Amino acid sequence: MLENLRKYSVFKYFEEISKIPRKSGNEQEIVKYLVNFAKERNLKYYTDEYNNIVIIKEASKGQEFKKAVAIQAHTDMICEKQDNVQHDFLNDPLKLYVDGDYIRAKGTTLGADNGIGVAYILALLDLDNIVSPKLECIFTSQEETTMLGAINLDMDKIESNKIISLDGSKEGKMLVSSAECEEWICTLPYKTQKNEYKYCYELIYDNFKGGHSGANIADEKRGNPIKLGVELLTKLDTYRIIRINGGSRVNVIPRNVNITFATNDENVESILQEYINFQKQFYGEQVNIALGKIKHQEKVLDERVSNDLIGFIFEFENGAIKTDEEGNVVQSRNMAQVNIKENEVNIAFSQRSNVKEAEEQYLDNLSNLISKYSLTVKWTQNLKGVPKKDNNNLANTCKAVYEKMFGEDMEQIISQGVVEGGFFVSKKQDCEYICIGPNLYDAHSPSERLSIKSTLKVWKYLKKLIRKI
C-alpha cells in the first residue's frame, strides 16, 4: 500500500502495524507483534497485565555515562468510519493510500494517532549504528478511552526522568503542558406517552467535520450537531422528543445527530429554514442538514424527560470557553454523545481545563446543572494534566536541537488535549516531559491524514535529538 515509501523504515513499520487491528481495549495482537520484534533483535522487554510493553535498548558504546531517556507512544487508536463503509475494526486491516503529501485510510480513521509514534520508536530500535543513551521505549494501551495503560504503568521500573512522547500532531510545536480533563456519562430514565401532537418531523445533521475534542475544539467551524439540533428545536413553540441519537465517543466532537420530534406548530419547515440556511452557510457546503415531515408516531418521551433532556443540552456551554493572553485555549467543553436506549437516555460530555480555579468553578456549575435537570451520573473519570515547569531542561534541549537543524523556532505550547504524561509526571518526582510529532490532521475522524514530508522531517530530527540529549 505504501510501496514507494517503504524504503523509509518509519513508513515500513507504520504500514506493518496498520495491518494489525488495535481498537482501544483490543491491543493484544499489537503487543504480540512488539514482543516478537524485541525477541528478534535480542532486546530486553517486559509487559504487564494492562497490555503495556517496555522495550529497552542499551546505550551505544561511549554513551554509557549518559542518563537513560524514555520515549513513549500508545498502541491503540480511535475507530471511526464513514457511514457507507464496511469495516470491522476488530479484524480488518486498515487500507492505506497515498494522496499527494498525505497518507490516508480508505473510509476510516488512519490510526496515525498514535501509530506513527509507534513506528518512529520501532525505526529507532532497528537502527544498528545509532549513537544514543539507554532508551526505555514505552508502549501504552487504551489511551483513547480509559488511559488504563498510563494510569497503571509502574513508573518505579522506569529509570529515566526524561520522557519524550511521540503523540504530538503539529510539527515544530512541543507540548509542555496539558489540560486536566473530566468525562461523564449521565442518564435520564424515561417513559413514553401517547403522542397527541399533530405533526411529526425528522431532523438530520450529518457529515460535520468532527475531530478530537481537545486538539480541534478551538475550531468553531467544525460545529456540534447535537447542540445545533437542540438549539433549532427551541425555536418552536411546542415540541416533544420521540428519538434522538448522535455522536460516537466522549472524547470525539460529534459529526452527526438524528432527532425525531412531534409538534403542534404549523409551518415548521418555513419557521426553521432560515436557521438551517444560516447553519449550512456557516459550517460549509459539505454538511448535510435536512428537515422533513414523517408519518405520525404513536409514542413520544414523557414531558418531563423531553424538557430535561433539551434543557440540559441547551444550557451546556460548548466549545472553547477561555483563552490565555497568547490565545491558547485553557478551558473547553464537548457535548459528545446522546442516545436513547430501552429505558434511559445517555448523555456523554467532557470538560478540559489548564486553570485550576476555572475548573473548580465549572465543576460546581455543572453539578448544579445536572441536579436541575434530574440527571444521574452513571460514569465519570478524571484524566490528569501536565503542569508547566518553569525550567524544563528536556524542553530546552529539544528546542535548541530543532532550531540548529532547521533554523526555525520550536514553539512550546499549552494544550487542551489530555496526554498520558499527566499520569507519568504525577508518579515520578522531578520528571520532565514533552510531546512532539509530525503534522497530523483531523485525528479521530475518517478525514485523518498524515503529512509524508513532515513525518520524514521529524524522523530526521528525532535521530539527531537522541544523539544530542
pLDDT at residue number 326: 81
Q: Where are the beta strands (DSSP E) in 190-256?
A: 192-194, 199-206, 211-212, 240-247, 252-253
pLDDT tops 80 at residue 425: yes
Q: What is the pLDDT of residues 17-66, one digit of tens each?
A: 999 999 999 999 999 999 999 999 999 999 999 999 999 999 999 999 99
Grid coordinates given for 86: 464496511
Residue 162 in grid coordinates: 526524561
On the question of pLDDT at 300 being above 90, the answer is: yes
356-391: pLDDT as tens digits = 777 888 889 999 999 999 999 999 988 889 988 888
DSSP assignment of 30-87 equals HHHHHHHHHHHTT-EEEE-TTS-EEEEEPPPTT-TTSPPEEEEEE--B---B-TT---
User: Does residue 251 register a pLDDT over 90?
Assistant: no
Label each residue of 304-372 as H, E or C. Answer: HHHHHHHHHHHHCCCEEEEECCCCCEEEEEEEEEEEECCCEEEEEEEEEECCHHHHHHHHHHHHHHHHH
Which cell goes with 326? 497568547
Can you give the pTM of this predicted structure? 0.73
Cell of 89: 475494526
Distance of alpha carbon 323 from alpha carbon 242, whole angstroms: 38
Asked whether residue 354 carries a pLDDT value surpassing 90, the answer given is no
Number of CB atoms found within 10 A of residue 120's CB: 28
Contact 159, 68 (CB under 8 A): yes
What pLDDT, on a 0 to 100 scale, did the predictor assign at position 355?
81
Task: Give me the mean pLDDT over the 244-248 stretch.
Answer: 97
Domains of the chain: 3-179+385-468 (3.40.630.10), 182-380 (3.30.70.260)
User: Average of pLDDT values for 97-123?
Assistant: 97
Question: Does the pLDDT at position 257 exceed 80?
Answer: yes
Confidence of residue 321 (pLDDT cuts 50, 70, 90): very high
CA distance 35 to 30: 9
Which band of pLDDT confidence, cut at 50, 70 and 90, is reported for residue 416?
confident
Query: What pLDDT, on a 0 to 100 scale, did the predictor assign at position 357?
Result: 78
- Number of residues written out for the chain: 469
- CB distance 76 to 23 below 8 Å: yes
Region for 64 from its dihedrals, namely left if φ exceeds 0, alpha if ψ lies in -120 to 50, beta otherwise = alpha
- What is the greatest pairwise CA distance in the chain? 83
What is the predicted pLDDT for the residue at 1?
72
Average pLDDT, the chain: 95
